[in-house]
Amino acid sequence: MTVAEIANKLGLTLKCGEDGADREVTGGYVGDLLSLVMGKAQSGNAWVTIQTNINIMAVASLTDVAMIILAEGLSPDPNTAKRSDMEGIPVYSSEKTAFDIVCELKDLV
């Protein structure tokens, strides 16, 4: 399933990085400690987090994740959004908790 299809199914709001919306999503990872995410997230994953600072884009780019989903209605910082557009890695937001997002994601990837 693609990033855009998952966003549609989960009712996510696109915040930035629209260019990457056609990419295929394979699996997911949840975490807010960036060192753990660096070591564990896999290429093509949907990454669910509550971190919004620009460092998430460096981690997303280096691990090659397909999309970032911000839980709890959070929005990316302005410089995070800028970097997301530059790299073409979409950042979405959801009002739901990380737990609820993952429960729904489980059946899609």
Q: Report how far apart the first and last C-alpha atoms of the chain are (Å, whole number).
A: 7
Structure token pair of residue 17:
């990085």
Question: Look-up: residue for tokens 């997002």?
Answer: 101
> In terms of DSSP bridges, do strands 13-16 and 28-30 run parallel, antiparallel, or are they unpaired?
unpaired
Residue with tokens 């557009």: 85
Kindly state whether residue 56 participates in binding another protein, applying the rule CB under 8 A: yes
Report the amino acid identity of residue 95.
E
Lay out the site mask for another protein across 7-36 (x = CB under 8 A, - = otherwise): -------------------------xxxxx
Minimum CB separation of residue 8 from another protein in Å reads: 28
Contact stretch for another protein (CB under 8 A) within 6-14, 20-28, 49-57, 97-105: 49-57
Site size with another protein, rule: CB under 8 A: 22
| Cβ proximity to another protein, 86 vs 108, nearer residue | 86
Is residue 24 helix, strand or coil?
strand
Distance CA 94, CA 14 (A): 9
List 58, 74, 102, 109, residue binding another protein (CB under 8 A): 58
Contact call for residue 51 and another protein (CB under 8 A):
yes
Binding site for another protein (CB under 8 A): 32-39, 43, 51, 53-59, 61-64, 79
